[in-house]
């Protein structure tokens, strides 16, 4: 496993990290989730990402129980806030940051969160209030560094323009061969300002594994076939996208890789990406995906893959 510096922080995160959206505490049985977590540590993964809203606290609770026997300095723990935790609890107000941070610390059974992230931008709270509250969270010792997820470039710049506040070190966008939107504005802005990307859905929620046949229903046991985990995949499960993904398999084989490894290596080719967050329901997936770290792939193979996907998405 290779490691990369997270923005301007002193954190060194594994190129492949383990996420818990729709999986741990929700869609994956506890024993399987524990096996995946064990496999992650065995492969050298040191970065675990979650959020308070995943299972309304269930993912954080699972991780708190699962990680408490491990040395605290053996992993970097990231969580988020913004989405509703109750009918009255949501957003990035100072009150919510203080309340949700303490709740996350309790569920995760730790004294400090290494990376505390704004899950989305809060249009209902002044940015100055949010950044001041995050700055106090860092000063209190409860948070080491701060980041954001899916903020537009103009909001990122507005935060950078504020003085006297703690600076963001990470951005968490969706980014993959089938979703390249961050390349336009977010990645260049972040790269120029010491902010790294930690990418969610680098395999297009499993579509870039190549396991979905455009002419057949999703296989039993896969995310797309799961009522709990498959509800966000409609855009990626289009036949034209699935057919294009099938065309990537020979290119991956030419590189000597599985398709998931090829797709993860494509994400990691971007220097501003510090880590690609994988989701896994089986340890074998963790092991296979971890082997994408440190790979050197012929750029021409990546360009061929991009052309195939771009053509499919343009139609």
Active-site residues, by number, are: 54
> Comparing C-alpha atoms, which of 64, 58, 14 is closest to residue 39?
14
- CB atoms under 10 Å from CB of 11, counted, come to 22
Q: Which residues contact 113 (CB under 8 A, 6 or more apart)?
A: 77, 78, 79, 101, 104, 105, 142, 143, 144
Sorted by sequence, the CB contacts under 8 Å of residue 195 that are 6+ apart come out as 7, 8, 147, 156, 168, 169, 170, 171, 189
How far apart (Å, rounded) are the C-alpha atoms in residues 285 and 278?
9
C-alpha distances out from residue 16 to 84, 200, 202, 248, 274, Å = 28, 11, 10, 21, 9
């Amino acid at each position: 496993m290779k490691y990369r510096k997270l923005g301007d922080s002193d954190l060194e995160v594994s190129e492949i990290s383990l996420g818990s959206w729709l999986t741990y505490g929700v869609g994956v049985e506890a024993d399987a989730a524990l096996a995946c977590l064990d496999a992650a540590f065995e492969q050298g993964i040191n970065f675990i990402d979650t959020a308070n809203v995943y299972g309304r606290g269930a993912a954080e609770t699972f991780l708190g129980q699962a990680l408490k026997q491990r040395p605290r300095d053996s992993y970097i723990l990231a969580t988020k806030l913004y989405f509703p935790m109750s009918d009255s609890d949501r957003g990035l107000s100072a009150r919510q940051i203080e309340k949700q941070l303490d709740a996350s610390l309790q569920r995760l059974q730790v004294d400090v969160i290494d990376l505390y992230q704004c899950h989305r931008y809060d249009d209902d709270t002044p940015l100055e209030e949010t950044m001041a509250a995050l700055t106090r969270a860092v000063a209190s010792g409860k948070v080491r560094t701060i980041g954001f997820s899916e903020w537009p470039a103009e909001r990122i710049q507005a935060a950078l323009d504020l003085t006297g506040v703690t600076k963001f070190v990470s951005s968490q966008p969706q980014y993959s061969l089938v979703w390249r939107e961050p390349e336009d504005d977010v990645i260049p802005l972040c790269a120029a300002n010491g902010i790294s990307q930690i990418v969610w859905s680098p395999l297009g929620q499993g579509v870039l594994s190549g396991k979905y046949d455009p002419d057949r229903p999703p296989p039993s046991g896969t995310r797309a076939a799961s009522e709990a985990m498959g509800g966000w995949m409609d855009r990626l499960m289009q036949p034209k996208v699935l057919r294009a993904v099938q065309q990537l398999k020979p290119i991956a084989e030419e590189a000597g890789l599985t398709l998931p490894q090829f797709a993860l290596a494509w994400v990691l080719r971007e220097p501003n990406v510090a880590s690609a967050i994988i989701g896994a329901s089986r340890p074998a997936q963790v092991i296979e995906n971890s082997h994408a770290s440190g790979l050197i792939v012929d750029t021409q193979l990546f360009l061929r893959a991009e052309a195939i996907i771009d053509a499919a998405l343009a139609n």
